[in-house]
Amino acid sequence: MFKIHEFSSADGRLSSVYLRVDEQQLEIVSEDGAWPLPQGALRAVLARFGAPFDDAARISTIASLPLPNGAVLRHVRHLAGYDVIARDYIVYEEPESEGLCALAATVAAALLHLGRAGAQTV
């Protein structure tokens, strides 16, 4: 599984959000369950909330996940000159396209919403 976000839950425990590929289907996973994501949801979230990825940015790659459509998802950490704490970003890169990045917390929240909403309509 590919961790995209970690936060403190209401009771103070650390809670993680993951993505995984199960039988060519992308799923979002949290301690509450796992939900399949609609085709193209990841790209749509990054297009909506993200910006072009700056290849010159000083980052540390935390993890990488190849996707069934040939794209690659990376979890990166960036410490800007004005920040005290590094921020986690998700970078979505398709072949022959400009990479898109967005804050990991934003991507996790949007994908959790889409996964849960999709499960309620089935």
| pLDDT one-digit tens code per residue, 44-58 | 999 999 999 888 888
- Which pLDDT tens digit goes with each residue over 37-94? 999 999 999 999 999 988 888 889 999 999 988 999 999 998 776 767 778 999 999 9
Q: Show the tokens assigned to 112.
A: 């959790």
Q: How far is CA 91 from the centre of its chain?
A: 8
Q: Show the tokens assigned to 56.
A: 């010159």
Helix (H, G, I), strand (E, B) or coil at 102: strand
Q: How confident is the model at residue 8 (pLDDT cuts 50, 70, 90)?
A: confident
Task: Work out the average pLDDT over 11-31.
Answer: 91
Could you give the strand order of the β-sheet that contains 51-52, starting from the edge strand earlier in sequence? 51-52, 100-103, 87-93, 72-78, 59-66
pLDDT at 28: 95
Helix (H, G, I), strand (E, B) or coil at 1: coil
Q: pTM of the entire structure?
A: 0.88
